[in-house]
Amino acid sequence: MTVAQEQRPTRVRYLIVLMLFVASCFSYGDRVMLSIAGISFSKDLHMDAVKLGYLFSGFSWAYVVGQLPAGGLLDRFGSKRIYGISIVAWSVCAILAGFAGYLPATAAFAIIFGLRLVSGLVQSPVFPGNGRIVASWFPAAERGTASAIFNSSQYFSLVLFAPALGWITHYWGWKQCFWFVGILGILLSFVWQRVVHGVKTHPLINQKEINHIEQGGGLVNIDPGAGTPQKAPKLTWAAVRMLLSNRMLVGIYIGQYCITTLTWFFLTWFPVYLSQARHMSITKVGVMAALPALCGFVGGILGGVFSDKLLQTGHSLSFARKTPIVAGMLLSVTMIGCNYVNTQWMVMLLMSLAFFGKGFGALGWTVIADTSPKPLIGVNGGLFNLIGNLAGITTPIIIGYIVKRTGSFHDALIFVVATALMAIVAYLPIVGEIKRVDLKLPEPANGRA
């Protein structure tokens, strides 16, 4: 390394957030796969809207249960090791689900549902791990953009995977979708091991970048060594109760549940809505589902950049984080207009505006990085994601019942819009001032947690 290079800080943190974005895209791609393939295999397996809703929700049942243990594992063993195991495990589940398609309909449904449960469980460290890595690798003034980048994966996964999976389903079959996603995930796990390290142990970083991160509030010491057990507090119900006793954090959790309701509508029922309510072919659904998702991706990036700019120009942390959230949720309400238009292009325009707004306001992980108690970043991220992803259970099932009972998506869109408005209520009167929580954890008695 030359003297000139040594004088400039490296930018390894950008490589890290790119890796988080790619890994999260694959995680969401695994979820998108079921909604695209579901249009086809719901006929093969003789599933009505309610059964399909339960299958869509199966992932989230175990995903929610795994959040707190995942947060504890991340704090104890570090992000790289736990996250890497997660990638391999969910990829194997996808491959096995494809082979289940050769079984009789009843057995295939049961096994795919079981594998979705396992996949949800093993993917539970992904977003707490993302939040934890961003808190470590980025100074406070850059966390909004960094978190927005990995969070925008939920939109870009539709852009990336929906057209490809629609094409695969049409020309090859739904089983091949599972194999495609599974094999790509296995390849991803090798890249993850090469690219991701702790801040002070990364082979490409120099001291100037470490100083920049540390002086800006980055928690560079939370992962001293990849794969080494850390001296982190054990996961206890006392710690969880302390988090749940904080009004600001509870408001953030409720807001995330509401925002995640929109996410799961777009990830599960939106392609079915385009197919059944708007009478699009499977290949057209794959393309059309990607268009609003692309708007969501752009909104997601811009929301984080806008928030960080507000912070850098002297606005308070509360104003900088809440403004994009409220504005984005208000814009997402435009999807209600789909109940009153008949042309496909108007539907796509309104859904694109709603998806852009949802992305612009999805700053929950940024807020968690800003507010989590330092000893409990993984646990708080896990609790936040647990409560948020309860929407992954309720949203597919509620919409399934609404569609079966009414025969249309009219009331389903009203339900989704109502939760967007509830998110605004959570962040304005409930959350209050956004600041880091300083929790004093009691020492375990007699060495026990």
CA 35 to chain centre: 16
Residue 317 is predicted with a pLDDT of 86
Residue 170 has pLDDT above 80, yes or no: no
Rounded Cα–Cα distance for residues 11 and 1 (Å): 15
Mapping DSSP onto H, E and C, the string for 246-299 reads CHHHHHHHHHHHHHHHHHHHHHHHHHHHHHHCCCCCHHHHHHHHHHHHHHHHHH
Lookup result for tokens 């391999």:
88
Rounded Cα–Cα distance for residues 200 and 112 (Å): 42
Residues with Cβ < 8 Å from 429, sequence gap 6 or more? none
Residues with Cβ < 8 Å from 342, sequence gap 6 or more? none
Mean pLDDT of 142-147: 77
Residue 230 has pLDDT above 60, yes or no: no
Confidence band, pLDDT 50/70/90 cuts, at residue 3: very low
Give me Rg for the CA atoms of the chain.
Answer: 21
Residue 413 is predicted with a pLDDT of 93
CA angle 65, 51, 344 (to 5 degrees): 105
Alpha helices in 313-343 (DSSP H): 317-332
Residue 220 is predicted with a pLDDT of 67
Averaged pLDDT score across all residues of the chain: 82
Confidence band, pLDDT 50/70/90 cuts, at residue 21: very high
Q: What are 49-75's pLDDT values in tens digits?
A: 777 777 777 787 888 888 778 877 887
Q: Which H helix or E strand runs over 344?
A: helix 344-360
Rounded Cα–Cα distance for residues 191 and 97 (Å): 24
Q: Which H helix or E strand runs over 151?
A: helix 143-151
Domains assigned to the chain: 12-219+230-437 (1.20.1250.20)
**What would the DSSP string read from start to end of 99-150?**
HHTTS-HHHHHHHHHHHHHHHHHHTTTHHHHHHHHHHHHS-GGGHHHHHHHH
Residues with Cβ < 8 Å from 35, sequence gap 6 or more? 56, 267, 268, 269, 270, 271, 272
Confidence band, pLDDT 50/70/90 cuts, at residue 149: confident
- How many Cβ atoms are within 10 Å of 247's Cβ, its own excluded? 11
| Cβ atoms of 229 and 77 closer than 8 Å | yes
Q: What are 306-354's pLDDT values in tens digits?
A: 988 898 888 888 899 999 999 999 999 999 999 998 888 898 899 999 9
CA 192 to chain centre: 18
HSE-CB for 354 with a 13 A CA cutoff: 26
Mean pLDDT of 423-445: 77
Residue 249 is predicted with a pLDDT of 92
Phi first, then psi, for residue 360 (nearest 5°) are -60, -35
Rounded Cα–Cα distance for residues 166 and 83 (Å): 28
Confidence band, pLDDT 50/70/90 cuts, at residue 234: low
Residue 7 has pLDDT above 80, yes or no: no
The pTM assigned to this predicted structure is: 0.69
Confidence band, pLDDT 50/70/90 cuts, at residue 393: confident
Mean pLDDT of 383-392: 85
Residue 174 has pLDDT above 50, yes or no: yes
Rounded Cα–Cα distance for residues 235 and 160 (Å): 37
Lookup result for tokens 């309860």:
390
- How many Cβ atoms are within 10 Å of 6's Cβ, its own excluded? 12
Q: What are 84-134's pLDDT values in tens digits?
A: 999 999 999 999 988 887 777 778 778 888 898 899 899 988 888 888 888
Comparing CA positions, the residue from 372, 248, 384, 366 lying closest to residue 307 is: 366
3-state secondary structure of 308: helix
Mean pLDDT of 285-291: 77
**What would the DSSP string read from start to end of 188-229?**
HHHHHHHH---GGG-TT--HHHHHHHHHTT--TTS-SSTTPP
Comparing CA positions, the residue from 305, 275, 303 lying closest to residue 289 is: 275
Confidence band, pLDDT 50/70/90 cuts, at residue 223: low
| Cβ atoms of 94 and 33 closer than 8 Å | yes
Q: What is the DSSP letter of 232?
A: P
